Amino acid sequence: MQQQGAAALPPATRLGSRPSLTRKTSRLCTTSALPPLCRCGRRHLIGSTSATAVIPLLALPSPAASPVDPEVMLELVHPARPEWYEKFYATAMDKFMKPYEAEIAEYKSKLFSQLMTAGKNILELGVGTGPNLKYYANADGVNIVGVDPNKHMEEYARAAAVSAGLPRSNFTFRRGVGEALPAEDNSMDAVVGTLVLCSVSDVEMALREIKRVLKPGGLYIFIEHVAAPDGSFLRFVQGALNPLQQFVSDGCHLTRETGEIIREAGFSSLDLSTTRLSTAFIVSPHVYGVACK
Kindly state whether residue 153 falls inside one of the protein's structural domains: yes
> What is the distance between the alpha carbons of residues 281 and 102, in angstroms, rounded to a whole number?
19
Kindly state whether residue 29 falls inside one of the protein's structural domains: no
Q: What pLDDT, in 10s, does the model give residues 149-195?
A: 999 999 999 999 999 999 999 999 999 999 999 999 999 999 999 98
Q: Which residues, at least 6 apart from 135, have a Cβ–Cβ distance to it below 8 Å?
A: 108, 109, 111, 112
> What is the distance between the alpha carbons of residues 260 and 256, in angstroms, rounded to a whole number?
9
Q: Give percent above pLDDT 90 in the chain.
A: 46
> Mean per-residue pLDDT for 194-200?
91
Nearest to 148 by CA among 200, 202, 225, 190: 200
Kindly state whether residue 40 falls inside one of the protein's structural domains: no
Q: What pLDDT, in 10s, does the model give residues 84-140?
A: 888 988 898 888 878 777 767 777 888 898 888 888 999 999 999 999 999 999 888
Q: How many domains does the chain have?
A: 1
Range of the domain at 146: 70-292
Kindly state whether residue 24 falls inside one of the protein's structural domains: no
CB 71 within 8 A of CB 104: no
Q: How many residues does the chain have?
A: 293
Q: What is the pTM for the complete model shown?
A: 0.77
What mean pLDDT, rounded, does the chain reach?
79
Per-residue model confidence (pLDDT) at position 41: 43
Q: Give percent above pLDDT 70 in the chain.
A: 74
Long-range contacts of 157-160 (CB under 8 A, 24+ apart): 157/127, 157/128, 157/129, 157/130, 157/133, 158/130, 159/130, 160/129, 160/130, 160/131, 160/133, 160/134
Q: Which residue has the higher pLDDT, 52 or 293?
A: 293
* pLDDT band (50, 70, 90) for residue 248: low
Kindly state whether residue 11 falls inside one of the protein's structural domains: no
- Backbone dihedral angles phi then psi of residue 11, each to the nearest 5 degrees: -55, 160
Per-residue model confidence (pLDDT) at position 78: 81
Kindly state whether residue 14 falls inside one of the protein's structural domains: no
